[in-house]
Amino acid sequence: MDHYVITIARQYGSGGRTIGQRLSKDLGIAYYDKDIIRLASDDSGIHPELFGRVDEYSSAKPPIFGAKSGVYSKELIPPQDKNFTSDENLFNYQAKIIRELATKEDCVIIGRCANLILDVSEFQNVLRVYVHASWDFRVEEAMQKMGGSQKDIEKFLRKDDKRKMEFCQRYTGKEWTDPSYYDLYLDSSVLGFDGVYEQIVKKYNAMRNR
C-alpha cells in the first residue's frame, strides 16, 4: 500500500509546526519532529547527544573527528570506521529514518530537509510544503512564545534563519528557501494559520485521490 507524507519546512514564527501538529491530529496520521533523533539513535546505537550537534535546531559547528562536510549520499559508514560518528553519517542516519517512515506509514515530518531527502524521483506521494511569513508577523508570533526584548527576538530569528539555511546547504547542497523544491509555498502572514492549513489539506486530498 502506498503511503502519503507531508513535509513541512518553516521559518520560526510562521506557524509551520503548529499547523503540522493540527494536520497530524485532524488527518489521523503520525507526526515526527525531534523524535527522529531518538529513532536514529536507536537504529545506529549512537548517543542522541551526538545527533544533537547536527540537528537543524542546533548551532552549526565544524565537523568532528576530521570529517569533511559534503552532500547527502544515503551511504552509511559502518561502526568500525573512524568516521562512524562524523556529522555526515549522523545526518545520513536521520535521513535513513525519514525514508523508512515514508515507506511504512502516512505522516507529517517537520524540517530536517525531509522534502529533499524524499526525492521526487523515488517518492511520488509526498507533499512538500514551505511555510513562511513577513518579518513583523514572525516577530509578533515569537514574542508570544519567548521571553526577552524585541531586539533579542529579532536576533534569534536572524540566527535561526541562518542556521536552517546553512544546515540545508551543508548536507544537501541545495537552497533551503528555493520554491522549486516545494509543492506549496505558503505565506501565513497573508493566509493566516487556518488558510495555510486549508491549502495543505486541499492539496493532500487531491494527491490521495489522483
pLDDT tens string 39-76: 888 888 777 777 666 665 554 444 433 334 556 777 78
Q: What is the mean pLDDT of residues 160-184?
A: 93
Q: How confident is the model at residue 60, as a pLDDT? A: 45
Domain chopping of the chain, boundaries: 5-208
Q: Return mean pLDDT, the chain.
A: 87
C-alpha cell at position 3: 503511503
Q: How confident is the model at residue 71, as a pLDDT? A: 67
pLDDT tens string 74-119: 778 777 777 787 778 888 889 999 999 999 999 999 999 999 999 9
Q: How confident is the model at residue 56, as a pLDDT? A: 56
**Amino acid (1-letter code) at residue 15:** G
Length of the chain counted residue by residue: 210
133 Cβ neighbours under 8 A, 6+ residues apart: 11, 13, 14, 15, 141, 187, 188, 189
Asked if residue 46 lies in contact with residue 85, where contact means CB atoms within 8 angstroms, the answer is yes
Q: Which fold has domain 5-208?
A: Rossmann fold (3.40.50)
Any idea which of 5-9, 71-75, 143-147 has the lowest mean pLDDT? 71-75
